[in-house]
Structure 1
Amino acid sequence: MTACNLPPATSPYNTAAFTTPESNPTRHKRGIATPDKLWPQHSVLKIALLDMTDAQKTLVKANIRKWTPHTNLHFKFVDTAQGDIRITANNTSTAGWSYVGTDAKNASPSEPTMSIGFGSSPERIEAQVVHEFGHALGLRHEHQHPDRTLVFDDDEVYKDYESRNKTRGEAYHDILRKSHRSAVKTSPYDEKSIMHYSFSRPRLKSPSEIPKPLQLSEGDKHFIQSLYPQDSTPVGQLIYTLMKVLIKADRPPTA
């Protein structure tokens, strides 16, 4: 796995446009991450949910919280639009996008930093939320891992993009390009990662197919834990628990 890759620093990262052919008119820690886009350790991240129904908010919160046990971060959902991460709903799209990690700070305060497409099945929407929030934590797309083992048919990837009025440059950037090892922190390539796109033939030569991951893999859990390690000492666990209580009570931590 790697920590995440982005177009220009001020641009959101379109992360779900290629998940399926239909989706766009010992134990190793695994993953990819961009170290300079990680949030400060033990941060309290305020998350604003914008333009969502109550049911949509419930779904988004539940799936963001799947990351919670595996980091030292605290997620505080706020009722205002003044969040560190601001998530909007797109009810006509199946795709989502997100700024990567602290690049969210470059967005205008009046604009969202993430979008969730609610135009597909509940199972896929849930997976999309987990995937997009992985980007918000600083993770890259797993299929662009420097050590990926999958083999693309480049011509078929280009052909697919051109059939959807996209450029060869976009195809290379989104799919074929590998992350530069010097720019990312990695663990072993994980084709089961929630940060991996699904692929099948003819775009893929080998293996014949990579199904769409719908849940955090064990590699995802261990990799994000290595990026945001919890303090396992009794004092560290006490402080972490106290922070959770204060956040739930809507009280700021004291100095």
Structure 2
Amino acid sequence: QRAIFKQAMRHWEKFTCVTFVERSSEESFIVFTYRPCGCCSYVGRRGGGPQAISIGKNCDKFGIVVHELGHVIGFWHEHTRPDRDAHVSIIRENIQPGQEYNFLKMEPAEVNSLGETYDFDSIMHYARNTFSRGVFLDTILPRTDENGMRPPIGQRVRLSQGDITQAKKLYRCP
């Protein structure tokens, strides 16, 4: 697991100016742990002291850890942006009971996308069937593009160009 955590941190470092260092005496730090929430993290720094990233069962995969680190550095889920309804439809009846909060749309005062457009390819975007009542039931359906195609969503392979650009803006990278 430790190797995957380090690979995910190096991935952020490779494409942005965000750096992660092994803790020595720093007051604020990340702790990889397991919590009942499974794969989860708070968004952004939450005061001083430890900040837990929960890596639960089946979460110890490179792309999932990159996603959770995205939360730590200040990224919300892409599909919760205030402008999301212009890009995706949320199919509430297909969402597992108790998971509806994962699909709530944020208010403009709660989140700033720093002028970046909606990013279907973001590592922070859920897949079409995330938290679905059935594996073949969509919970998020991308709107069709000008060619009548629905863009793929939910990749957990790498940071998208949009993720990289937004992180560079957020952290004022050179």
Band the TM-score falls in, shorter-chain normalisation: 0.7 to 0.9
Q: Distance between the aligned counterparts of 2:112 and 2:138, measured in 1?
A: 31
For the 8 Å contact 1:193–1:216, the answer to whether it is kept is yes
Q: Return the letter of the residue paired with 1:61.
A: K
Residues 1:131 and 2:131 aligned together: no
Alignment of 1:32-181 (within 5 A): 56-78=1-23, 84-90=28-34, 95-103=38-46, 105=47, 109=49, 112-117=51-56, 119-120=57-58, 125-148=61-84, 149-157=87-95, 160-161=96-97, 166=98, 171=100, 173-175=101-103, 177-181=104-108
TM-score, normalised by the number of residues in structure 1: 0.53
**Number of equivalenced pairs:** 156
Shift of 1:196: 0.8
Identity %: 26
Determine the structure 2 residue equivalent to 1:33: none
Structure 1 residue 57, shift from structure 2 partner? 1.4
What does the per-residue CA deviation read over 1:111-150, in whole Å, with 9 as the maximum and x for residues that have no partner?
6521112x3286xx11111001111101101010122211
Closer, same or farther: CA 217–79 of 1 in aligned 2, 3 Å: same
Deviation of residue 67 (structure 1)? 0.9
* CA drift at 1:182: 2.4
Q: CA deviation at 1:211?
A: 4.2
Separation in structure 2 between the aligned mates of residue 209 and residue 154 of structure 1, nearest angstrom: 20
Gaps of 5+ in 2: 130-136, 144-149
CA root-mean-square deviation? 2.8
What is the CA–CA distance in structure 1 between the aligned matches of 2:89 and 2:2, rounded to whole Å? 38
Please give the secondary structure, in 1, of the residue aligned with 2:54: strand
Q: Report the CA distance between 1:61 and its aligned residue.
A: 0.9
Q: CA deviation digits over 1:77-113, x for unaligned, max 9?
A: 1268x662332243x989311122121x26xx4x652
Larger helix share, 1 or 2: 1
Decide which of 128, 132, 139 is 1:203's aligned counterpart.
139
Is 1:131–1:194's contact at 8 Å kept on the other side of the alignment? Answer: yes
TM-score by length of 2: 0.75
CA distance in 2 between counterparts of 1:191 and 1:139 reads: 14
Q: How far apart are the structure 2 equivalents of 1:212 and 1:60?
A: 20
CA distance in 2, matches of 1:209, 1:138: 25
Determine helix, strand or coil for the equivalent of 1:75: coil
Matched residues in 2 for 1:138 and 1:97: separation?
13
Gaps of 5+ in 1: 1-55, 232-255
Larger Rg: 1
Q: 1:142 touches 1:195 (CA, 8 Å); kept in 2?
A: yes
